Amino acid sequence: AQTVTQSQPEMSVQEAETVTLSCTYDTSESDYYLFWYKQPPSRQMILVIRQEAYKQQNATENRFSVNFQKAAKSFSLKISDSQLGDAAMYFCACELAFGKGTKLTVNP
């Protein structure tokens, strides 16, 4: 079974700045997938980015990128040029296991 830990319950960032959300996980699998999901106030979960563990290259999706450190079982999310619409809960997931989330506030 996988477990996921997000150590930052809340984070804030100034508009246009960069912020990094932390995530660590534990799994006994050698091949697995990692995800970051965004949950805005509307509560609809939206996929932000997906990483396959056997790929060494960090996934990137426009302003969102990850720092995947397989040996350390770390999977942080970097949001560049933060926008007001980025404000939401962000959940890290290792397959079916989700962390408790980080609430991101974007200040104008």
- The site for another protein (CB under 8 A) is made up of 1, 4, 6, 32-33, 35, 37, 42-47, 50, 52, 91, 93, 95-101
What's the closest the beta carbon of residue 35 comes to another protein, in angstroms?
A: 7
At residue 48, the 3 state secondary structure works out as strand
Q: Which is nearer to another protein, 11 or 45 (CB)?
A: 45
The kind and range of the H/E element at 65 are: strand 64-69
Q: Which is nearer to another protein, 99 or 106 (CB)?
A: 99
Residue among 12, 18, 3, 105 nearest 67 (CA): 18
